[in-house]
Structure 1
Amino acid sequence: MPLLARTFSEFIHIPIVFYKTIGEDLYEHRSSNRVRRLLLKLLLHIGFVNFNLLVMGEIIFFVKALRSSATILEATGVAPCIGFSFVANFKQIAMTVHRVTLRQHFDQMEEIFPKTVKQQNAYKLPQRERVMRRVMAVFTLLCLAYTSTFSIYPALKASVQYWLLDAPVFERGFGFAIWYPYKTTEKNWVYWLTYLGQVHGAYLAGVAFLSADLVLVASVTQLCMHFDFISRCLEEFGGASQSDVQKDLEYLKALIVKHAKCLKLSEHVNSIFSFSLLLNFLTASLTICFIGFQVTASSKEDIVKYIIFLTASLVQVFVVCYYGDELMTASMRVGDAAYNQNWFDCDKRYKRLLTILIMRSQKPASIRAPFMPPISFRAYMKVISMSYQFFALLRTSMERKGTKFT
């Protein structure tokens, strides 16, 4: 049992800190330090200009590589990086466009967050937060391991070969296949500036991609916690008695108001993340397909990098689908708990309120993307199925062209 109550800021601390490292301050409106705000904005804007120039270079490289059968494997290697970059870009755009809604969402989430140790234990906050942080830790490790492996490995490998294994020259390589309008390896300072630009762009993409999902996970975790608390209150209450009807009605009204707030907050989540989730799921199958293809076609040296990338992509889609399924299950449980009360001999007014609660819970809260059904484990299975179909088609096409695989 914790000695001190957790605050909402501590609950959502991880994505807030990650966002600040790239210059995005979600609590900017609460900061009184104008210089700090301007410096963070400058860092964010410069970072995204650099990142989008790198994405343009990847697209040009991809188009050039597609023109030759000799470089088709390089094209399929850069394709998942382009998909990852587009999703990271649109997640950041969604955060920027819905900044006002996001601030209102955080304020309302903080308002209903349990404040005391007793309340937090009643809500089972420690158990919920423990699971949430484990999920965040695994996802963060995989996502940053992917970007770090691709960006840092070439310089690390060249350093070991040159300084420890007495290689004749320092091999000036890059982690990402990007077209540049200038010669990147002739001069030492040009190479290192270009290399550091790639490292920062990869880190920014990883954080923008990762942190949006971490905000989603934290929001859904708290909503599930509230829905479960409402369900337990209904089950433990057992139904209104005839002795103190007014008190029981007030108790049920409070639960209905809380339930309505949770449904409204779930709609906030959808308005903020729906478009980026749509793009995420549209590109997920192709991205996983190309990564899987690289795992089967790359050299042994590159396989490890692509396996980490593949694992991160699979885990990311799974985490979103898992929490989407959890949200639907938790919100539907409220209606079941209300119906399972001993309501037969209750006052008519109590029955009427209970009916309203049951009717509201018939349409469960969910994570949705435009033109798609609610995100759940079914969506995950569809992504995996489509990824395998694309992979089989791509591999068969390459084999027919005579491409040899390692």
Structure 2
Amino acid sequence: MKFRFLSPDTPIKESYLLIPRFSLRVVGCWPQRKVPTFIGILHFLASSSAVAFGAFGECIAGALTLNQILETMEAWCPGVTKQISLFKMWIFFVHREKLYSMIERIEQLLTADSNEDKKKIAQKLSVIASILTVILFVSANSTNLFFNTRPLINNIIRISNGKNATLDLPFKMILPDVLTHYPVYPLTYISMSYSGVMTVFTFCGVDGCFVGLCFYISALFRMIQYDIQELFGHLQYHEKAGRRDNQIMRQELKVIIRRHNEVIDLCNEFKDIFTTIIMGHFLSASLVVCFSVIDLLYNTGIGLVLYVCYSIAALSQLFLYCIGGTYVNDSSLEICDSVYLVEWYKCDAETRRMILMILIRAQRPATINVPFFTPSLPTFMGILSTTGSYIALMKSFL
């Protein structure tokens, strides 16, 4: 995977959902039209079983150590993340055909136009989405790396200080003794590490797909704005549009209206698929950020670095959903402003009626809303405020 996809000059076909596609193929749930092969199903079941093993094992361990609140939070912090990731990967697997169709259609709309200015609009937003996904990918994989190497590094430090090594595991779980001692101990260690890897690739893929599609839908709305401005731009040199001009504009407006409706339909389809994912993520977001920050405050050494990366990853996840929702909402509303600001009053009555149709439709934003809230930057700030309250409450018990 080359870093050329972060350049604004890279064509959409080369950068389109590059990191999410790579991540979800590793897990085995990248959306596809055809029925998965037997090997493909086994691949996905192995990945989801590994995530489930970590999710339930760590949450049970946290519940059994409630008398030691720091131990509980160290178990629940990755455990809750794995539970939500398990939920996300199954949603993607179940809706793989719908997702494939939607992803392909958005790509077709983005690449169908040969206008260089509109290509730059899409490429610029694609770069922003890619940078945000890279931040999540790097911070999440760094967190997982520190989880998996922390027991090894701690043992190296113990041995260098003349102490005996301990059989610690990457994540907090309560397991039968046979699984935590030789000869089975290495297999248990590898299984936990595999669970962490699959979790990271799952949420990097799903969350990266969400923010990427949000920015691509936003690009489609901005390309419609560009078409409207270009269509009416020549009117500034005329006092009134001629008969031939009105006929041409009406034909072009029909195309714009059809494309506008198609993008809105895609946005609604996108919202229907991701509603449960967004709900699940936001219900757990405050707790995960709270746990990671508390763990950060009470850890030292490699544990401190680990939870710095974890906090960055958790905040990045939340920010991706909120910034994606904001971009879709704002870009859909900006069409209304673009229509209002053109010199539509120079057109005849029939053309003005068509313009009015776009104006009325564009006044209703295409939001990625779910029950009770809409992912947006104000929502992000509200969750951070709630998280701060949780942290203050938890610190009072420690």
TM-score by length of 1: 0.88
Q: 1:372 is matched with which residue?
A: 372
- 1:75 counterpart = 2:57: no
Question: How do 1:120-159 and structure 2 match up within 5 A?
Answer: 122-158=119-155
Three-state SS of the structure 2 residue aligned to 1:65 is coil
Instruction: Letter of the 1:390 partner, please give it.
Output: Y
Q: In structure 2, what is the Cα distance between the partners aligned to 1:152 and 1:306?
A: 14
Q: 2:62 is matched with which residue?
A: 62
Three-state SS of the structure 2 residue aligned to 1:248 is helix
Instruction: Letter of the 1:266 partner, please give it.
Output: C
Question: How do 1:65-214 and structure 2 match up within 5 A?
Answer: 65-66=65-66, 68=67, 71-115=68-112, 118-119=115-116, 122-158=119-155, 162=159, 165=160, 169-187=164-182, 189-214=183-208
Three-state SS of the structure 2 residue aligned to 1:173 is coil
CA positional deviation for 1:276: 1.1
Instruction: Letter of the 2:48 partner, please give it.
Output: F
Q: 1:262 is matched with which residue?
A: 263
Over the aligned positions, Cα root-mean-square deviation in angstroms equals 2.4
Q: In structure 2, what is the Cα distance between the partners aligned to 1:38 and 1:361?
A: 46
Three-state SS of the structure 2 residue aligned to 1:26 is coil
Three-state SS of the structure 1 residue aligned to 2:342 is coil
Instruction: Letter of the 2:93 partner, please give it.
Output: T
Instruction: Letter of the 1:177 partner, please give it.
Output: K
Instruction: Letter of the 1:273 partner, please give it.
Output: F
Instruction: Letter of the 1:368 partner, please give it.
Output: N
Q: In structure 1, what is the Cα distance between the partners aligned to 2:40 and 2:155?
A: 33
Instruction: Letter of the 1:289 partner, please give it.
Output: C
CA positional deviation for 1:26: 2.1
CA positional deviation for 1:82: 2.0
Residues 12 and 126, structure 2, Cα contact 8 Å, conserved in 1: no
Instruction: Letter of the 1:246 partner, please give it.
Output: Q
Query: How far does the alpha carbon of each residue in 1:202-259 deviate from its partner, in whole angstroms, 9 at most, with x for none?
Result: 0111111111111112211211111111112222322772232221101111111111
Q: In structure 2, what is the Cα distance between the partners aligned to 1:354 and 1:105?
A: 28
Q: 1:295 is matched with which residue?
A: 296
Q: Tell which deviates more after alignment, 299-308 or 223-232.
A: 299-308
Residues 88 and 203, structure 2, Cα contact 8 Å, conserved in 1: yes
Q: 1:323 is matched with which residue?
A: 324
Q: Tell which deviates more after alignment, 280-289 or 76-85.
A: 76-85
Three-state SS of the structure 1 residue aligned to 2:375 is coil
Q: 1:222 is matched with which residue?
A: 216
Residues 368 and 375, structure 1, Cα contact 8 Å, conserved in 2: yes
TM-score by length of 2: 0.89
CA positional deviation for 1:62: 1.2
Identity %: 20
Question: How do 1:241-390 and structure 2 match up within 5 A?
Answer: 241-244=241-244, 245-369=246-370, 371-390=371-390
Instruction: Letter of the 2:297 partner, please give it.
Output: T
Stretches of structure 1 lacking an aligned partner (at least 5 in a row): none
Three-state SS of the structure 1 residue aligned to 2:86 is helix
The counterpart of 1:16, out of the listed 18, 21, 26, is 21
Query: How far does the alpha carbon of each residue in 1:55-92 deviate from its partner, in whole angstroms, 9 at most, with x for none?
Result: 222122112101x3xx2210122222222112111111
Three-state SS of the structure 1 residue aligned to 2:184 is helix
Structure 1 residues 167 and 194: CA distance shift in structure 2, 3 A: farther
Q: In structure 2, what is the Cα distance between the partners aligned to 1:97 and 1:73?
A: 37
Structure 1 residues 168 and 75: CA distance shift in structure 2, 3 A: closer
Structure 1 residues 349 and 205: CA distance shift in structure 2, 3 A: same
Structure 1 residues 50 and 12: CA distance shift in structure 2, 3 A: closer
Residues 51 and 205, structure 1, Cα contact 8 Å, conserved in 2: yes
CA positional deviation for 1:381: 0.7
Three-state SS of the structure 2 residue aligned to 1:95 is helix
Q: In structure 1, what is the Cα distance between the partners aligned to 2:306 and 2:381?
A: 24
Q: In structure 1, what is the Cα distance between the partners aligned to 2:28 and 2:320?
A: 26
- 1:236 counterpart = 2:220: no
CA positional deviation for 1:166: 7.9
CA positional deviation for 1:123: 4.8
CA positional deviation for 1:122: 4.3
Query: How far does the alpha carbon of each residue in 1:262-281 deviate from its partner, in whole angstroms, 9 at most, with x for none?
Result: 11111122111111111111
Structure 1 residues 16 and 28: CA distance shift in structure 2, 3 A: farther
Instruction: Letter of the 1:179 partner, please give it.
Output: I
Q: In structure 2, what is the Cα distance between the partners aligned to 1:238 and 1:110?
A: 27
Q: In structure 2, what is the Cα distance between the partners aligned to 1:340 and 1:141?
A: 43
